[in-house]
Copies of this chain bind each other. A is one copy, B any other.
Amino acid sequence: MKIVKFGGSSVANAAQISKIIDIVTGDVDRRIVVVSAPGKRNSSDIKVTDLLIALANTVLAGNDYEAELSTVVGRYAEIQRDLNLSEDVVDVIEADLRGRIENRGSSDAQFMDSMKASGEDNNAKVIAEAFTKAGFPAEYVNPGPAGMLLSDEFGNAEVLPESFEKLATLKQSDKIQIFPGFFGETKNGEVATFPRGGSDITGAILAAAVNADVYENFTDVDSVCAMDPRVIDNPPAIDCMTYREMRELSYAGFGVFHDEAIVPAVRAQIPICIKNTNNPSAPGTMVVPQRSPDERTVVGISSAPGFCSIYIDKYMMNREVGFGRRLLSILEEEGVSFEHTPSGIDNISVIMASANLSKKEETVVNRIKSELKPDAVTVEHGLSLVMVVGEGMQYTPGLAAKATGAFSSAGVNLEMINQGASEISMMFAVKDADREKALRALGSEFFGV
């Protein structure tokens, strides 16, 4: 059995929904379909979820919301018309939205979740109708009653462990199950939504619950690229990568998934396939628990700008017990989260996103000076992290030489190298101004692009 998830652009209008019907019905193993709310139909369009948030805010402000309500309903009505579905489905959706507005639930946060969730919920109803109309028995699944039980952290809910057993019974249905992503119900029966990446989370939970053979995640690209196509022309596609390769690439700028989203699938060791709704015959990118080490050593190269480093130097730091711990305590007390703390003998750096340091910079630097009495403290902004990622990297001599040689030939000075901390990646820091040059050098060296 396969769990199939479609993102917002794959379910934005009738044409796209027709494609997904073909995709799902083209493979008998595709039995459970997770759908998003209608996304953008073109680049200047507004996602239904964003319309719903605006509508909810208008309602909460006590202002007239009829026009906004009508816009939302209109998006579904367009799909209904274009697919020649019964007008009843639009009436059901309008009644549903009015019902949500009238029964506001326990709090504004819960109301907001209820309104946001309606985007997926009502789209699932439309899509179930569309499958049926096309001659494929399908049914809308209401997540809460089906077993998707969540914590009551509205907007940031987590699945409860007891969900999985009940959700597993979904696979017994003989109809295609159209399951709205992004939300579930609390134990009190109130709608609650997942954080960012919510429909991906729903798919990952269902994949784990039914122990799927694969979790197919349909987007609008043929496959994941080994490098950022905005910087590198025609980067190679990634056919297959491991979960941890994907994690390391995601960290620095690879927007494959929001990486917490797929944790349930990873825990259950379900392979994930990223495919293109608009070109479903392309093999896509597989994300798997392990891959054989004789394949390509470097699978991808990612990068992210906007990091900074606090560099602290103190003669005999190495002999000062607890220096590092006291430094980290200062950062914690000031609420500054950080990424790495590479250390030398008498020096330690703290690498973090500049946005995390932000207004706290002066306070943090002053506290370091007064409490740790270092010889020097300097903050360097404008750093980019570059990650070269691949299973088997640890056992392949000469990769560091290839990478640093490429940087050197391109005239890129390395602010930092962190290799060996991870078995499957090398991390470099370069100045933001050198980021694209660095990527092009690595692209040429490792992928010949």
Question: What residues make up the interface of A, taking CB atoms closer than 8 Å to B?
Answer: 243-244, 247-248, 251, 259-260, 263, 266, 311, 313, 315-316, 318-319, 324-325, 328, 339-349, 395, 397-398, 400-402, 404-405, 407-409, 411-423, 425-427, 429
Contact = CB atoms under 8 A, between A and B. Distances in A.
Contact of A422 (B325, B344, B401): B344
A419 B414 contact: yes
Closest 9 CB pairs of A and B: A344-B422, A416-B420, A401-B408, A342-B421, A417-B419, A398-B408, A401-B404, A397-B413, A400-B404
Contact of A344 (B405, B407, B411, B425): B425
Contacts of A421: 342-344, 347-349, 416
Given A247-B345, A248-B345, A251-B318, A400 B425 contact: no
Nearest to A309: B420
Given A408-B401, A417-B400, A313 B344 contact: no
A293 B169 CA distance: 71
Contacts of A349: 420-421
Question: Of A260, A266, A324, which is in contact with the most chain B CB atoms at under 10 Å from its CB?
Answer: A324
Nearest to A417: B419
Contacts of A260: 316, 319
Nearest to A415: B420
Contacts of A348: 421
24 contacts: A243-B315, A244-B313, A247-B346, A248-B344, A260-B316, A263-B316, A311-B423, A318-B339, A324-B341, A343-B418, A344-B418, A344-B421, A346-B422, A348-B421, A397-B407, A397-B412, A397-B413, A397-B414, A401-B409, A405-B405, A416-B419, A417-B417, A417-B418, A417-B426
B341 A341 contact: yes
Given A325-B325, A405-B401, A408-B397, A420 B342 contact: yes
Among A244, A260, A266: residue with most chain B CB under 10 A: A244
Contacts of A247: 315-316, 318, 345-346
Contacts of A395: 413
Nearest to A398: B408
A425 B243 contact: no
Given A325-B325, A400-B414, A420-B415, A343 B340 contact: yes
Contacts of A259: 316
Contacts of A339: 318, 343
A266 B375 CA distance: 12
Given A247-B345, A400-B417, A416-B421, 4 more contacts: A247-B316, A400-B414, A401-B405, A418-B420
A381 to B, nearest CB: 15
A339 B341 CA distance: 12
A437 B417 CA distance: 22
Nearest to A389: B345
A431 to B, nearest CB: 11
A420 B425 contact: no
A345 B418 contact: no
Contacts of A413: 395, 397
A180 B345 CA distance: 32
A248 B328 CA distance: 23
A299 to B, nearest CB: 14
A122 to B, nearest CB: 32
A411 B398 CA distance: 8
A81 to B, nearest CB: 44
Contact of A347 (B328, B404, B423): B423
